[in-house]
A and B are shown apart, each in its own frame.
Chain A
């Protein structure tokens, strides 16, 4: 079983749509959780951290369920510029493991 699993997609949505990505992780000792974004042929960049209480950054909402070992990312009012691959990341003792990513394409 992979340490971090994501639905690879692709998700093709119209502008303005709401889209949700899910991620599961296998190591219950994982300490912290993040979503990264990677544009085509570019390096990944941190999008946001994920907390059990849920956290929001503008149109983006992230949620963590430790009991189910499940992480989610919700994007509201999708923009064309949101098109990218979204990577779920799990950290334990500074050892960061990435999911394979979910590809999102937002269309006009």
Chain B
């Protein structure tokens, strides 16, 4: 049973380009979370999605960032017109629909570097 799959693992972009990060949750999981982690800092909540719905996006910057979790396919975190400050590790996690057990299963992260 494959775990949470994120790709790409590493992404390099120049300022002004777009970054697309993909996350395939564990099989059967319909809750997806995105977190950002800056070097030497903790995880910062960005967005919480269920299939086709954004439940909480209070951690997402108002501009340039968007997320989706379509009925079919992976969840996508999209960053438009990237700036150097967007350089970070972006972690995706998933959980079971009915689980309130707290066990989030994390992917290995996508590390974005903006030149």
Contact = CB atoms under 8 A, between A and B. Distances in A.
A87 interface: yes
Nearest to A34: B102
Size bin of chain A's contact surface: 20 to 34
A91 B102 contact: yes
Contacts, number: 57
A43 B106 contact: yes
Q: Which of B55, B95, B104, B106 has the most CB of A within 10 A?
A: B104
A94 B31 contact: yes
A21 to B, nearest CB: 13
Given A43-B107, A95-B56, A32 B41 contact: no
A46 B102 contact: yes
Contacts of A100: 41-43
Give the 3 A-B CB pairs with smallest separation, nearest first: A100-B42, A43-B106, A34-B102
